[in-house]
Amino acid sequence: MRTVYEQELKDLTAQVKDVSVTVGLDSRCHIDLSGIVEEVKAQYDAIAARSLEEAEAYSRSQLEERAARSAEFGNSLQSSRCEIADLNVRIQKLRSQIVSVKSHCLKLEENIKVAEEQGELAFQDAKDKMAQLENALQKAKQDMARQLREYQDLMNTKLALDIEIATYHKLMEGEESRMDLPSATVVSTVKSGCRTSKSTRPETQDRDTSGVGDRGPKGIT
């Protein structure tokens, strides 16, 4: 306010200096210079007082405006500080989350690497086992084919043996039936031998012997 007042006082002084006053003196009339000076002084004081009031009013309005702006700036600054504090808290949380995520990513990368290594080992092991199983399957197929051939040979042998056994069985049945017939002939020959002479017995015996001989080779065949 003092600065404004001094500036206005300087402006008024400059204006007063620039004002040129021409006073015409008449020797016939008496001029009251003291009254004029008092009047000018009163006008100057009135102008100075009005200027002072205007300067004070302007200064008060500027101060009020600046105070309002300062209050607004203070509120804005306070809200900005609160926002900055919240942002700092969020930044700290985000940093901690980033550190946690990084550590989790490192663990996941390690787990992935271990899983890849285990997968490679498991794949190689499975591949080896598959090769072994293929070899075992091939060997089993070969063994099965060999056993099938042996079984076929055994079946053929069994069939041949069954045929031979059946043949011998039939031959034995025929031989038994033939052996039953000569016994009756011998009995009849013995009964008739008591009545016949000794010369007839050798013939009968020869016939019987020849009959047995005939049956023998046939039975053996």
pLDDT tens-digit readout, 165-215: 989 888 888 887 777 765 544 445 544 444 444 444 444 444 443 343 344
pLDDT digits (tens, 9 = 90+) for 98-118: 999 999 999 999 999 999 998
pLDDT of residue 24: 57
In a domain, 191, yes or no: no
pLDDT of residue 94: 93
In a domain, 114, yes or no: yes
Q: How many CB atoms lie within 10 A of CB 55?
A: 19
In a domain, 159, yes or no: yes
In a domain, 221, yes or no: no
∠ Cα 126 131 132 (to 5°) = 95
In a domain, 193, yes or no: no
In a domain, 94, yes or no: yes
In a domain, 88, yes or no: yes
Residue written as tokens 């598959």? 130
**Counting Cβ atoms within 10 Å, is residue 23 exposed (0-12), middle (13-18) or buried (19+)?**
exposed
pLDDT digits (tens, 9 = 90+) for 25-44: 555 555 566 777 788 888 88
pLDDT of residue 152: 92
Q: Determine the structural domain holding residue 95 and report its residue range.
A: 33-177
pLDDT of residue 142: 92
In a domain, 78, yes or no: yes
DSSP code string of 32-82: -HHHHHHHHHHHHHHHHHHHHHHHHHHHHHHHHHHHHHHHHHHHHHHHHHH
Q: How many residues does the chain have?
A: 221
pLDDT of residue 187: 47
pTM of this prediction? 0.35
The count of structural domains within the chain is 1
**Higher-scoring residue by pLDDT: 65, 204:** 65
